[in-house]
Amino acid sequence: MALESVQKLNATAVMVNDHTAFRVDWMPFGGRDASGIGMGGIQYSMHEMTREKLMVIKSKSL
């Protein structure tokens, strides 16, 4: 019953039989759809602060 309800909810995180103060570092938080701007949490923050860069080295010795 709880699993079915959680799957139907349009939510980022759902606490079942616990309060919303429960938190782990890898857990996402933030707005969903139009309720906020982006997601928070270590993984999402690192992605937002990272810029990918490509470096190509042509070398006969490599």
Quote the mean pLDDT of the chain: 77
| The pLDDT of residue 32 is above 80 | no
User: Do the domain assignments include residue 18?
Assistant: yes
Q: Residue 9 and residue 15: Cα distance in Å, rounded?
A: 11
Is residue 6 predicted with pLDDT exceeding 70?
A: yes
Question: In this structure, are residues 29 and 40 in contact, taking their beta carbons and an 8 Å threshold?
Answer: yes
Task: Answer whether residue 62 is part of any domain.
Answer: no
Asked if residue 25 belongs to a domain, the reply is yes
> Is position 22 within any domain?
yes
29 falls within a domain: yes
Question: Domain range spanning residue 9?
Answer: 2-48
**Domain count within the chain:** 1
Average pLDDT over residues 53-57: 87
Contact 16/28 with Cβ under 8 angstroms? no
Q: How far apart are the first and last CA of the chain?
A: 58
Handedness of CA 37, 24, 13, 42 (dihedral sign): positive
Check if the beta carbon of residue 16 is closer than 8 Å to that of residue 2.
Answer: yes
Residue 16 in domain: yes
pLDDT at position 60:
92
Q: What is the model's pTM?
A: 0.41
